[in-house]
């Protein structure tokens, strides 16, 4: 991971649209380019602080409730690490089966309970729209950590921050981004495609026919003038790709297990496949991976997916500080 340098982002004072205190983070539709530059500027500062001093007391006395109705390793633990690096503490509800949810408590009552004890709630839930429902019921900020096949806005923010930090702040306009794999159920690609549509990029979608990007999302992005194209194979677009965003085929979203078996290994990134790609491009993945990227590729400098996870810590530190009025 490159060492942080003096911030390449907008100085904080130059961004007028910076009032995130008390706000929910539900969808990437909430963000415009100045917001992103502000968030990434704060995240860049957080990275420098972690590298210099590790943990500091910006959110001392603040409490995060981490409420996860679906499994998570990265999102859950990076929000915990983010809060603890900022001097705050965490109520972890990573297994709702040990909570009163198993007695039939509703999402709204659960959120209303947790906000009695916490200053901010991070929520992952299997139903699209659940984060918005929770936010309407709650007085404290709700951060959407994934709502079914809907959105995963903090993942999209960390994904774009990864592109900025790896390829350079000024270069996003003009990039070709290729999204590969499960584009139907993959909420990370839904959020990321929306966020990228704020820039002058070209987006390629490569997927099996039954896992294509939702039509309404393609239309939404086309309305912003973004060139997009769909393919069934990677080889047509790999040589022009600057960012290859690989996704897992989401077994848990399939109703028919045979369909999953048929498409699960449609694409596998290997060192051999990557011979056709540029040397200065990057490969990203929100993780977890199953078979879609061979471990043989992990040591290639273009493999950015482990660095991407670390960038997520800094973005989540920035978001917590912002919604709690400390950035």
103 included as an active-site residue:
yes
Query: Closer CB to ligand CP, residue 77 or residue 294?
Result: 77
How far is 217 from 193, CA to CA, in rounded Å?
8
Q: Quick check: 75 binds ligand CP (CB under 6 A)?
A: yes
Q: Quick check: 80 binds ligand CP (CB under 6 A)?
A: no
Q: Quick check: 287 binds ligand CP (CB under 6 A)?
A: yes
Q: Which of 17, 30, 55, 73 binds ligand CP (CB under 6 A)?
A: 73
Question: Any residues with CB less than 8 A from the CB of 140 and at least 6 apart, and which?
Answer: 115, 118, 119, 120, 121
CB 121 within 8 A of CB 142: yes
The residue count for binding ligand CP (CB under 6 A) is 10
Shortest spacing between CB 308 and ligand CP, in angstroms: 9
Query: Closer CB to ligand CP, residue 227 or residue 288?
Result: 288
Q: How many helices (H) and strands (E) does the chain have?
A: 9, 9
The length of the chain in residues reads 327
β-bridge pairing 120-125 and 202-206:
unpaired
75 included as an active-site residue:
yes
The count of C-alpha atoms lying within 13 angstroms of the C-alpha of 109, restricted to the half-sphere facing its C-beta, is 8
Q: Which of 4, 141, 208, 286 binds ligand CP (CB under 6 A)?
A: 286
Query: Closer CB to ligand CP, residue 75 or residue 228?
Result: 75
Q: Quick check: 183 binds ligand CP (CB under 6 A)?
A: no
190 included as an active-site residue:
no
Shortest spacing between CB 155 and ligand CP, in angstroms: 5
Residues 145-164, one symbol each (x = binds ligand CP by CB under 6 A, - = not), give -x--------x---------
Shortest spacing between CB 116 and ligand CP, in angstroms: 26
How far is 153 from 10, CA to CA, in rounded Å?
22
How far is 314 from 40, CA to CA, in rounded Å?
9
């Amino acid at each position: 991971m490159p060492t942080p340098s003096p911030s390449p982002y907008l100085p904080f004072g130059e961004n007028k649209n910076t009032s995130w205190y008390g706000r929910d983070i539900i969808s990437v539709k909430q963000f415009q380019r100045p917001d992103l530059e502000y968030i990434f500027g704060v995240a860049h500062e957080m990275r420098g602080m972690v590298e210099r001093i590790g943990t500091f007391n910006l959110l001392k006395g603040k409490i995060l409730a981490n409420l996860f109705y679906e499994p998570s390793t990265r999102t859950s633990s990076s929000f915990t690490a983010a809060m603890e690096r900022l001097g705050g503490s965490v109520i972890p509800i990573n297994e709702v089966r040990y909570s009163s949810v198993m007695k039939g408590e509703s999402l709204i009552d659960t959120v209303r309970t947790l906000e009695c004890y916490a200053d901010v709630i991070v929520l992952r839930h299997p139903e699209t729209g659940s984060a918005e429902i929770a936010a309407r019921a709650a007085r404290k900020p709700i951060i959407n950590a994934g709502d079914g096949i809907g959105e995963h806005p903090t993942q999209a923010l960390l994904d774009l921050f990864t592109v900025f930090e790896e390829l350079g702040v000024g270069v996003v306009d003009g990039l070709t981004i290729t999204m590969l794999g499960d584009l139907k159920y993959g909420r990370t690609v839904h959020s990321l495609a929306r966020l990228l549509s704020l820039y002058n990029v070209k987006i390629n979608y490569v997927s099996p026919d039954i896992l294509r990007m939702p039509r309404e999302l393609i239309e939404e992005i086309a309305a912003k003038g973004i060139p997009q194209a769909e393919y069934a194979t990677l080889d047509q677009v790999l040589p022009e790709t600057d960012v290859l965003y690989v996704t897992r085929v989401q077994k848990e979203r399939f109703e028919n297990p045979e369909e999953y078996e048929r498409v699960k290994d449609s694409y596998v990134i290997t060192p051999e496949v990557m011979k056709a790609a540029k040397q200065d491009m990057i490969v990203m993945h929100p993780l977890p991976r199953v078979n879609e990227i061979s471990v043989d590729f992990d040591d290639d400098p273009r493999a950015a997916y482990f660095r991407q996870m670390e960038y997520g810590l800094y973005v989540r530190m920035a978001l917590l500080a912002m919604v709690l009025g400390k950035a």
